[in-house]
Structure 1
Amino acid sequence: MSLGYFSYPLPANEPVLNYAAGSNEKNILKKTLSELKKETADIPMYIGSKEVRTGKKTAIHPPHEINHVLGYFHEGNEKHVQQAIDAALAAKASWTGMSWENRAHIFLKAADLIATKYRSYMNGTTMLGQSKNAYQAEIDSACELIDFLRFNVHYLSEIYKQQPVSSAGIHNRMEWRPLEGFVLAITPFNFTAIGGNLPTSAAMCGNVVVWKPANTQVFAAQMFMRILKEAGLPDGVINLIYVDGPTLGKICFAHRDFAGVHFTGSTGVFNSMWKSIGENIASYKSYPRIVGETGGKDFVIAHKSADAAVVATALLRGAFEFQGQKCSAASRAYIPNNIAEEVKKKLVDGVKSFKMGTVEDFSNFINAVIDEKAFDKIKTYIDNVKKDRKAEVLVGGKCNKSKGYFIQPTVIEAKNPKYITMCEEIFGPVLTIYVYNANKFEETLQLVDETSPYALTGSVIAKDRAAVELATNKLRHAAGNFYINDKPTGAVVGQQPFGGARASGTNDKAGSMLNLYRWLSARTIKETFNPPVDYAYSFLGEK
């Protein structure tokens, strides 16, 4: 029963704490890190009202300290996928029927808990589990996740207000229904905020969710799940399971009540999922919503008018923060020859100044890559460059996994703009630059546009406004998030809705209304106050 129209105004973005020396937040975070390392977490799956422990346990190690065990999570199988679907569907009627304000307040309370009581725990589990430094964790697992929860409540309330016009004698209204069935959320290792947003954005709209995080993000994912439970999320609305991808797909994509998938991960996996869904299309109750943010080969192009220090800083931050493991990370750069030597010197000096090591030493700018598989893949690219005359390593390139998966930030200069590291997604601390003729800016823009199948993020750096306008127009479809005189990373909820097209995904813009529309199914209702009692229209009369 609705007793009023409740307002959820546009929130302010959560302030970023700076963790300065001697600050209260730094002391609290260090204490939490110590606490988390002293414990050995026993992490269940959350299915309906149950904490499910299978006894088949997988150890969680900090990527920067692989001999330490943070805890264990319990792996599931086909049976647990089915149980999660059943629990979700069982919860659907009561969840869908809950008033909007009560649904909204669960997520607003979760945001408040993260901002206060659990801030250090969300950041601490992210730092230890995913090897993020304090700042990278703060902008992700605290601020961005809080923003997703608060802004999505506001955006959804605005959508609910959108109603059709009515003419005399009738009233029209629009219902914004959840989808029929369950939504599958598959989330990546690199952003705890994405891990939280993908299931909650769908759930906020009245959907029920089966959530599978990356194994390398479970430590923070389960912390968020515990916060949702404390905030009052009913049992079965979001079900957190740890299973392998093929097992998940086999059960979910064959289920009649599969209503959609919210995905962030590799382009190859997304393509495979889309194919499986297509092959099963005749068996579904409704056409599933397929929403995905996938790979990127993100660019920076500098114009001859650019400031070399601005270019170098954008690259040092954009390519190497969180070890380049951002979908948006700068991984290819086009530098005009008039400033190339100065930019290269600043890049070399910058990389040499980076400190690398454990997240518990807050002076480390660089930490470890996520796991051994990623380490080996990235190292192979670097080793191949060292043996190739078509490119050279300008700085970095040292790799060591004896204590953690450490790869020194690496800058490569390619002599060929279509060199492999200019084209393929590496997803690590590797930046490839190509020096172009400063008088061939427009031709180089064409090169940028056609080099990669991806179109996620990119930036142009220039003082010349005509160059900025030219790049903006020529690269219109090359990046879903385009930056001018900045690095191509760091999208903020409500400010830069995030997503790309081409091989980078469906561009449904997380952090905006656009994404929420995908988890709603509109129903138009027309009510006639004085219905006609005779079929005949006036035009039928001749006299």
Structure 2
Amino acid sequence: MANAFYKVPQPVNEPILNYRSGSPERKALKEALAAYKKEALDLPMYINGEWVSTDNKVAIHPPHEKKHVLAHFSKGGSDHVNAAIDAALAAQPAWERMPWQDRAAVFLKAADLISGPYRARMNAATMLGQSKNVYQAEIDCVAELADFLRFNVQYMTEIYQQQPNSSPTVWNRMEYRPLEGFVFAITPFNFTAIAGNLPAAPAMMGNVVVWKPAETQIFAAKLVMEIFHEAGLPAGVINLIYTDGPMAGDIVFSHADFAGLHFTGSTKVFQALWSMVGKNISKYRSYPRIVGETGGKDFVVAHPSADAVQVAVGLARGAFEYQGQKCSAASRAYLPESLWPAIKEKLVADLATFKMGTVEDFSNFINAVIDERSFDKISSYLAQAKKDDGVEIVAGGNCDKSEGYFVEPTVLLVKDPHYRTMEEEIFGPVLTIYVYPDAEFDTMLEQVDSTSPYALTGSIFARERSVINYVTDKLSNAAGNFYINDKPTGAVVGQQPFGGARGSGTNDKAGSVLNLYRWISPRTIKENFVTPKDYRYPFLEEA
């Protein structure tokens, strides 16, 4: 029987491997890529600890090689949604009563599996399924996901250690219960780490979960579920389903035991889900927790005192890594007239060296956007930009979907700071630049803050400290993650907890203790050791 206060392993950020030519990690990854390409896999759902297949098979194609069939997943229906909910609720009593250290051990083991024996397969699955180059995959599906699991264990212990004070003859305690019911996790295509963390974080705190990943991320999601299974996660705690979103939502959000939503995706979808929860609020056993990270129209502001080369590199990386398909990607920039020529020269020169193509060629910096719908949306913006007055295509602008969904990294220069690509989320490799007169810096800051409904990430490049302080204060509500002399992407667990407000979500900061607080329902316990035997208080005594 456990009778000690256990100290968990001190979390440290997972080192990122280099994959240099001739390195053992590069060799292992090449072998994993070849193995996945050799034979199309069958990807069943995972319900109540069992792999569940259906006759409705849907093909998965690498976005950069759309003719190749990578796998088929089993499309589920309403019966599978109900089965997943039933399995979760059946698993809840035993899971929530399991000692916290045993829950922690499951996810600590999963982290070590991800960063150890599964590392090459995790990278290969993310690279092929989501068209990420090796570096973008490594920082996502290995380093960040392992960090989420390890740091969340540490945060869990910090929560449990928070206990109230006690007065004489009384012992006060705080119990951190999971939510009463099940959590619905809806995860996006662009980060395998997010796909793993959204169901894992509530589960770590004793909750049970129904997990629906984006169809374009299922190839890696199934592998994450395999790892959770191998790590010893009990049946029913996390149930992985591949079903139609609206159909699943109708069932989940009408269920009396719906207890929480953990979501990353579009603002429009999140608002629709929140509305659905609101309409059904009287049906629920408890008020559900709603946690969401949604859209962004992330900005870079350069002051005339900034270093032009640093700005150009920040834009190249911040806007175009992973084809701009990061909710944090730089998509609008405000640059001073005095620096624009130098920034333009460096930025255009760097973009000219970008190679674009398959992820299997490690020299390619740019790969494909996720699917045809995304390609068509991005290409429509570019087609319109070519027609519109006041828009100059500084670099890129071309698209090709004959072999895969390839969009050139594109830089637009606009005369109107409210042109549509300065305001609307595109979610692709398109950066729009507005050049402002140096003397109008303050006016331009007002535009930065008011142009977009989002408030996810943003950055300021400047040398002068007074300017940095001024902008940091002026744009205090414009970004939940604010960067100084750096690109607005690349948040690291335990270093820059991630999330934004306004139209960008509930700002519950994945990668910090704040997120885990959302998945608990505390209970205060007071125990009186000397119980009163007379109702009378001293003030009742006669003079």
TM-score, scaled to structure 1: 0.99
- How many correspondences in the alignment? 543
Aligned identity (percent) is 65
Could you tell me which amino acid in structure 1 is paired with residue 459 of structure 2?
S
Distance in 2 (alpha carbons) for counterparts of 1:11 and 1:149? 9
Could you tell me which amino acid in structure 2 is paired with residue 73 of structure 1?
F
**Which residue in 1 is equivalent to 2:226?**
226
Distance in 1 (alpha carbons) for counterparts of 2:390 and 2:92? 58
Distance in 1 (alpha carbons) for counterparts of 2:49 and 2:122? 23
**Which residue in 2 is equivalent to 1:168?**
168
- CA deviations on 1:175-194 (whole Å, 9 max, x unpaired) are 00000000000000000000
**Which residue in 2 is equivalent to 1:98?**
98
- CA deviations on 1:273-331 (whole Å, 9 max, x unpaired) are 00000000001000000000000000000000001100000000000000000000000
Alignment of 1:253 with 2:250, yes or no, is: no
Deviation, 1:542, is 2.2
Distance in 2 (alpha carbons) for counterparts of 1:440 and 1:19? 46
Matches within 5 A, 1:298-313: 298-313=298-313
Could you tell me which amino acid in structure 2 is paired with residue 81 of structure 1?
V
Could you tell me which amino acid in structure 2 is paired with residue 224 of structure 1?
V
Distance in 2 (alpha carbons) for counterparts of 1:14 and 1:535? 60
Distance in 1 (alpha carbons) for counterparts of 2:235 and 2:171? 37
**Which residue in 1 is equivalent to 2:357?**
357
Tell me which moved more, 341-350 or 11-20: 341-350
Distance in 2 (alpha carbons) for counterparts of 1:467 and 1:382? 35
Distance in 1 (alpha carbons) for counterparts of 2:224 and 2:9? 25
Alignment of 1:407 with 2:407, yes or no, is: yes
**Which residue in 2 is equivalent to 1:235?**
235
Secondary structure, counterpart of 1:439 in structure 2: helix
- CA deviations on 1:357-386 (whole Å, 9 max, x unpaired) are 000000000000000000000000000000
Distance in 2 (alpha carbons) for counterparts of 1:2 and 1:424? 55
- CA deviations on 1:418-464 (whole Å, 9 max, x unpaired) are 01000000000000000001122221111100000000000000001
- CA deviations on 1:464-522 (whole Å, 9 max, x unpaired) are 11110111000000000000000000000000000000000000000000000000000
Secondary structure, counterpart of 1:531 in structure 2: coil
**Which residue in 2 is equivalent to 1:337?**
337
Distance in 1 (alpha carbons) for counterparts of 2:126 and 2:389? 40
Tell me which moved more, 247-256 or 8-17: 8-17
Deviation, 1:39, is 1.9
Matches within 5 A, 1:452-531: 452-531=452-531
Deviation, 1:353, is 1.0
Secondary structure, counterpart of 1:527 in structure 2: strand
**Which residue in 1 is equivalent to 2:435?**
435
Alignment of 1:541 with 2:541, yes or no, is: yes
Matches within 5 A, 1:150-229: 150-229=150-229
Distance in 1 (alpha carbons) for counterparts of 2:123 and 2:9? 27
Could you tell me which amino acid in structure 2 is paired with residue 121 of structure 1?
R
- CA deviations on 1:150-197 (whole Å, 9 max, x unpaired) are 000000011001000001110000000000000000000000000000
Distance in 2 (alpha carbons) for counterparts of 1:94 and 1:39? 39
Distance in 1 (alpha carbons) for counterparts of 2:444 and 2:466? 15
Could you tell me which amino acid in structure 2 is paired with residue 396 of structure 1?
G
Distance in 2 (alpha carbons) for counterparts of 1:483 and 1:39? 44
**Which residue in 1 is equivalent to 2:32?**
32
Could you tell me which amino acid in structure 1 is paired with residue 227 of structure 2?
I
Alignment of 1:370 with 2:370, yes or no, is: yes
Deviation, 1:9, is 4.9
Could you tell me which amino acid in structure 2 is paired with residue 114 of structure 1?
I
Could you tell me which amino acid in structure 1 is paired with residue 491 of structure 2?
A
**Which residue in 2 is equivalent to 1:395?**
395
**Which residue in 2 is equivalent to 1:283?**
283
**Which residue in 2 is equivalent to 1:46?**
46
Structure 2 unaligned residues grouped into runs of 5+ = none
Distance in 2 (alpha carbons) for counterparts of 1:454 and 1:522? 32
Q: CA RMSD in A?
A: 0.7
Distance in 2 (alpha carbons) for counterparts of 1:445 and 1:467? 12
Matches within 5 A, 1:52-91: 52-91=52-91
Matches within 5 A, 1:131-150: 131-150=131-150
Distance in 2 (alpha carbons) for counterparts of 1:367 and 1:441? 36
Secondary structure, counterpart of 2:287 in structure 1: coil
Distance in 2 (alpha carbons) for counterparts of 1:371 and 1:119? 25
- CA deviations on 1:81-117 (whole Å, 9 max, x unpaired) are 0000000001111111111111100000000001110
Secondary structure, counterpart of 2:167 in structure 1: coil
Secondary structure, counterpart of 2:402 in structure 1: coil
Distance in 2 (alpha carbons) for counterparts of 1:251 and 1:96? 24
**Which residue in 2 is equivalent to 1:117?**
117
Secondary structure, counterpart of 1:175 in structure 2: strand
**CA pair 507-14 structure 1, distance change in 2 beyond 3 A:** same
Secondary structure, counterpart of 2:507 in structure 1: coil
Deviation, 1:40, is 1.1
Could you tell me which amino acid in structure 2 is paired with residue 27 of structure 1?
K
**Which residue in 1 is equivalent to 2:296?**
296
Secondary structure, counterpart of 2:490 in structure 1: coil
Distance in 2 (alpha carbons) for counterparts of 1:114 and 1:253? 33
Secondary structure, counterpart of 2:432 in structure 1: strand
Distance in 1 (alpha carbons) for counterparts of 2:93 and 2:321? 44
Distance in 2 (alpha carbons) for counterparts of 1:2 and 1:271? 45
Deviation, 1:2, is 3.9
Distance in 2 (alpha carbons) for counterparts of 1:295 and 1:286? 28
Deviation, 1:390, is 2.1
Distance in 1 (alpha carbons) for counterparts of 2:477 and 2:542? 59
Could you tell me which amino acid in structure 2 is paired with residue 21 of structure 1?
S
Distance in 2 (alpha carbons) for counterparts of 1:380 and 1:350? 25
Distance in 2 (alpha carbons) for counterparts of 1:155 and 1:304? 41
- CA deviations on 1:375-412 (whole Å, 9 max, x unpaired) are 00000000000000121111101100000000000000
Matches within 5 A, 1:3-22: 3-22=3-22
**Which residue in 2 is equivalent to 1:420?**
420
Could you tell me which amino acid in structure 1 is paired with residue 391 of structure 2?
A
Distance in 2 (alpha carbons) for counterparts of 1:234 and 1:25? 32
Deviation, 1:10, is 3.8
Deviation, 1:49, is 2.5
- CA deviations on 1:14-73 (whole Å, 9 max, x unpaired) are 000011111111111111100111021100000003211111011010000000011100
